[in-house]
Structure 1
Amino acid sequence: MSRRHHFHIDYLGHSVSATVQTGHRSVVEILVDGKETGHTPIKDDGPVTVPVELPTEPPTAVTVRATPGPGEPSCLLLVPDGGEPREMAPRPY
């Protein structure tokens, strides 16, 4: 059975959302300001990283690290220059 888990964070004035779908077709989808900018399949319960760019001037490269399991999924936003990772808040929808 598939389940979809949603996460969100605002960073540098932009909305970054992640959907982690677990089950038969496991995948991570990333939206920046409502537009899909990253997509990667999940092969096991280990973390997967999805690089994306924020539409700043110049563009800012960030990475979303999704951990699908075991247990409840979680997502972190990894910022440039080794800054502290930021936890993405779960969204119940």
Structure 2
Amino acid sequence: MRRRHHFHVDHAGHSVSATVQTGRHPVVEVLVDGKETGHLTTERDRPVILHVELPTDPPMPAEVKATPGPGLPRCVLQVPGGEQYVMSPRPY
């Protein structure tokens, strides 16, 4: 059974959102400021890392680590310098 889980965090004045669709082949989508910047299909509950760029001046590379399972999905934004921000679940 497929379910969609939404996550969000604000960083450096930019909005980063992720949607994790669970099921046999989980799908992870990442949006930065409302624009899709990453999309990936994975196998089962394997964690995935999507490389994105925050539109700062100069652009800031970042990664969204999504873990579809087991249990409830989780997402973390990782930025240069080793900082990590847990993305809050959003109920929609």
TM-score by length of 1: 0.94
8 Å Cα contact 2:28/2:41 also seen in 1: yes
Shift of 1:44: 2.2
8 Å Cα contact 1:20/1:29 also seen in 2: yes
Residues of 2 paired with 1:44 and 1:26: CA distance?
7
Shift of 1:25: 4.1
Question: Which position in structure 2 is the counterpart of 1:50?
Answer: 50
Aligned length: 92
8 Å Cα contact 1:7/1:75 also seen in 2: yes
Instruction: Report the 3-state secondary structure (helix = DSSP H, G, I; strand = E; otherwise coil) of the residue aligned with 2:69.
Output: coil
Residues of 1 paired with 2:52 and 2:27: CA distance?
16
Match for 2:72: what amino acid? E
Structure 1 residue runs of 4 or more that deviate by more than 3 Å after TM superposition: none
8 Å Cα contact 2:26/2:45 also seen in 1: no
Structure 2's unaligned 5+ residue stretches are none
Identity of aligned residues (%): 64
Map 1:30-41 onto structure 2 (within 5 A).
Answer: 30-41=30-41
Question: Which position in structure 1 is the counterpart of 2:81?
Answer: 81
Does the alignment pair 1:15 with 2:15?
yes
Map 1:52-71 onto structure 2 (within 5 A).
Answer: 52-71=52-71
TM-score by length of 2: 0.95
Structure 1's unaligned 5+ residue stretches are none
Instruction: Report the 3-state secondary structure (helix = DSSP H, G, I; strand = E; otherwise coil) of the residue aligned with 2:81.
Output: helix
Residues of 2 paired with 1:25 and 1:39: CA distance?
13
CA RMSD, Structure 1 to Structure 2 (Å): 0.9
